[in-house]
Chain A
Amino acid sequence: MRTIDTDVLVIGGGATGVGVLRDLALRGIRAALVEKGDLTHGTTGRYHGLLHSGGRYVVKDKQSASECAVENEILRRIMPHCLEDTGGFFVVTPADDEAYVPLFLKGCQETGVSVHEIAVREALRREPLLNPRISRAFEVRDGSADSFLATHSNAEDAVRHGAQVLTYHVVTGLERTGDRVTGAVCEDMRSGETVHIHTSYIVNAAGAWAGKIAELAGVKVTVVPGKGTMVAMNHRVLNTVVNRCKPPADGDIIVPIHTVAVIGTTDVHVPDPDVFGIEAWEVERMLSEGEQLVPGISKARVLRAWAGVRPLYKDQDVADDRDIPRTYKLLDHEARDGVKGMISMVGGKWTTYRMMAQEATDAVAAKLGIQAECRTHLEPLPIPAGAERKAGLYWLGKPLAAIEADSSYGHLICECELVTRERVVDAITSGKAANIDDIRRDTRLGMGPCQGGFCTYRAAALWHELKPATPPANDPPHGHAGNSVALLRHFLQERWKGLTVIAWGDQLRQARLDEIIYLDTLGLDLLPAPAPAEQNGAEMVTAHPAIATEYHAA
């Protein structure tokens, strides 16, 4: 058993939690963060990557729209390396009602969302695959964001300012002394060790899981996990974010991010944020709606599908989950429930994470009687080593330019996403990664067309070579390499989850080639793998019930 003392404990390693941690650290407040998986393991790592201009909310959710418009500009200043300035279009397709246009423009004006109409011809010149039958096009300041890198950058800066980050620590209980929450009991899922964290204040930033955390303190918070399914196209069919100019609905946006274009999303209420599946109709909906924006897109190669759960806070009766405001809400449990020492920050969206963090931190600072002002909107985030070479906004060709400059083609471990040996080694030796999926979040390894077909073997081998841990004494037959086999199996299974719903055409062919590699050539299925229980003590966590998000096909 370990004990940690801190002034503020943040629960949740998504954008909001890590944002709060950085804000606290910059204000000189001693803070620690616990996350049950890897950073961005939850919703932050599973969204389409849109940096909102605010345009999507200007009619129905004006507050969110204004917040997005403000934060969009701040994020461009503080984290250019995480953002691509793709620009965005709102277009009226033949399936859309032009009557929405005046409402849209009026909303933009009211909320401060910058917009101007461009000629359809110009929109088509810039995006040749866009539906030539669109009748109007409006340009906004949408962009795309690398939410993995942004979160890592925030965490790195927080740590640099004295904060602690504990990943793979699941909160199993909150300690209450009278009407005050005074600490948390966690389990270190890698070692099985129990960790007691004593703290003066807790910020519940667990997103879709915030209700589960609040319950541990005996407080009721209703968060509706709104599942959104997305599909990634194999390459950037568009280089501009393109939205349908109509009230938000399924499949009405395509976001170009890194090497892919993401069609998003559905919105389905699920009972439990840990248990949900991607359903066939959702994928079909994305493709059929995507056809309105890019005719022929359903014949193009789909790389993968995945789902994330929006943390929608429900404090009143709304008929449709899409009608729940996307704005965030700070819950002061002392005022709301008579429970001191804890606040919850719920709702919101990635683009406004910093604003949410600022508001939460302001509240905590006030409770702690600390005067320090927020500085997160002023100080640029550090660029993690190896992630980027030059400052400035991200651009698509940047990774290729870096490989070209170093002539490091021969060092590519993940050839699809241009991840070099150096970066994989860094990710492994940083000590943060517990499995190859964590390396993926850090580097994009395995996120390209072959979905780990070639790089999983290489990454597992590098892991094996870099982590020569002593094999457990009572388990000589498997040795340490048994661990690399488990890593391989785990990552291939993780990739498989996102493939089965979209594997047809070229992607099915790819999946079959991957089978030839892992079964025919490598004989992965013939190797004895350690049972899940034997992984305790090793350095990976794959099958722990708290983080093994299983997609149960409906």
Chain B
Amino acid sequence: MRDTIVIGAGLSGLMGALALADAGRRPLVLAKGQGAMQWAAGTIDVWGAANGSLRAALGELITTDPGHPYARAGAAGVEAAIDRFRALMESARYPYVGSLERNVLLPTALGALRPAAFFPATMAAGDMRLGGAAHAGPPLLLAGFHELRDFFPPMAAENLTGQGIPARGVYLTLPPIARRLDFNTRVFAQLFDDPAFREDVGRQLRAARGDATRIGLPAVLGLRDPLGAVAHLQALSGAQIFEIPTLPPSVPGMRLFTIFREAIVKAGGRLQIGAEVLRGEGADGALTAVYSAAAAREQTHRANLFLLATGGVAGGGVRTDHTGSTWETALGLPLQAPGGRGEWFAPRFLNEAGHPIYRAGIATNPQLQPLDAAGAVVYRNVAVSGAALAGSDPIRERCYSGMALATGWRAGQILSSEL
């Protein structure tokens, strides 16, 4: 009943669906579950290694590595995608700030400084370049709760201090009314949606603040109106408040998913979560239908255009087994992957170049159409985006979210106008 299908509901698939909706189509998004957004920090990482201008770094990358997914999106495509993404977030009162001029450094829950190009305004005060040299500014305060097992302020603070950014870590006391047996990030986000809870936390922050002018809290400051929650806490504490991403499930990821879902549904799109695409069916070089798992029998979805955004090894688009086989899970497209299992890994976990298996993906032409080993287009009405693409290890390159947005957007545009 819908002529456009997006497979995958991560950042890339939903960005693609948004592009399709913008172009007047009513995409159906099929996804096995909710995924990658809730695993990641919620920032838009465009290119982690860039020292200066990200535009310059992207320009260079596109020239030197034409097989890279960014080269498929093109420099203009990256900018357009980010603009559209920011407009959506702005309209949802969850604005992203940042620029392609340079990366900022945001503290992690471990106290590392990680580069990001764009980030929710709720994280903005964590920019460690603010106030000039980090070494000179007043000390930061990091505050958390013993009950939240995924954020430990003292360790993060001491690691920041070790890098020349004086910081203190403290634990706050949960208001008694909120005491529960089990906590996760979602439970905390619900608590922070409640102004009374924030009042209590804000009072504690004011008391603990000392000479700190900036306070870092775990990224759980509400699901309904995080920006309002941050403003409220700032007013109460007398300091700038910023969020620090924690372990999965990520609250910033939940916010993103909700915003995308609402925008796509509002534009006439539909999300079908829980529907794993098992296979496709083609004729004359075009994909004609995909089949998703359903109770008792598969569900058939016929359409004219398809966007494949099922992710890589993590997202589930690339699967492997003990014989060393690798395959693309939804449509059985040919993969570009390292040889036998002996070639998959480096001996060190933190190996700088990463592990070859994570570069496995689908090779495409500049139109993001999937190619076979001989370089021929497999299905002319399919575009591929995100971590399912070959040619990148987006975690090591710190371009996970930027690449997802850019290629998702580009794929959506290609499908709606060029194919």
Contacts and interface: CB of A to CB of B under 8 A. Distances in A.
Direct contact of A and B (CB under 8 A): yes
Interface of A: 280, 283-284, 287, 298-299, 302, 407, 409-410, 412-413, 421, 454, 457-458, 460-462, 464-465, 476-482, 484-485, 488-489, 492-493, 495-496, 500, 502-505, 508-509, 512-513, 515-517, 519-528, 553
Given A516-B395, A523-B108, A523-B114, A504 B348 contact: no
A454 B247 contact: yes
B110 A505 contact: no
Interface residues of B, number: 56
A4 B313 CA distance: 55
24 contacts: A280-B341, A409-B182, A410-B182, A412-B149, A457-B110, A457-B150, A464-B154, A464-B158, A465-B155, A485-B110, A500-B347, A503-B344, A504-B341, A505-B319, A508-B313, A512-B314, A516-B40, A519-B396, A521-B109, A522-B110, A522-B112, A524-B110, A524-B112, A526-B113
The prevalent SS among residues of A at the interface is: helix
B342 A280 contact: yes
A504 B316 contact: no
Contacts of B149: 410, 412-413, 421, 458
Nearest to A525: B350
A527 B341 contact: no
Query: Of A503, A508, A553, which is in contact with the most chain B CB atoms at under 10 Å from its CB?
Result: A508
B163 A515 contact: no
- 6 nearest A-B pairs in the assembled complex, by CB-CB distance: A523-B112, A461-B152, A481-B158, A410-B182, A496-B349, A523-B114
A481 B159 contact: yes
Query: Of B150, B152, B162, B250, which is in contact with the most chain A CB atoms at under 10 Å from its CB?
Result: B162
A503 B345 contact: yes
A293 B349 CA distance: 33
Interface string B138-166: 00000000010110101100110111100
A501 B128 CA distance: 40
Given A520-B398, A553-B347, 6 more contacts: A284-B322, A513-B314, A521-B246, A527-B110, A527-B111, A527-B159
B322 A504 contact: yes
A520 B41 contact: yes
B322 A298 contact: yes
Nearest to A412: B149
A521 B322 contact: no
A522 to B, nearest CB: 4
B197 interface: no
Contact of A478 (B110, B112, B162, B313): B162
B316 A521 contact: no
Contact of A524 (B350, B358, B396): B350
A484 B155 contact: yes
B359 to A, nearest CB: 12
A287 B45 CA distance: 40
B338 interface: no
B248 interface: yes
A39 to B, nearest CB: 26
Contacts of A462: 152
Interface in B336-368: 341-342, 344-345, 347-350, 352, 357-358
Nearest to A526: B112
B159 A485 contact: yes
Contacts of B112: 522-524, 526-527
B312 to A, nearest CB: 8
Interface string B150-189: 1010110011011110000000000000001111000000
A115 B319 CA distance: 44
B320 interface: yes
Given A465-B152, A484-B155, A527-B110, A457 B247 contact: yes
B245 interface: yes
A517 B314 CA distance: 12
A477 B110 contact: no
B180 A410 contact: yes
Contacts of A553: 347
B181 A409 contact: yes
Contact of A516 (B109, B314, B352): B314
B118 interface: no
Interface string B223-262: 0000000000000000000000111101000000000000
A492 B349 contact: yes
A519 B397 CA distance: 10
Query: Of A421, A476, A521, A524, which is in contact with the most chain B CB atoms at under 10 Å from its CB?
Result: A521
A504 B324 CA distance: 8
B349 A457 contact: no
B161 A464 contact: no
Interface string B377-419: 0000000000000000001101010000000000000000000
A512 B350 contact: no
Interface string B30-59: 000000000111000100000000000000
Contacts of B211: none
A177 B168 CA distance: 57
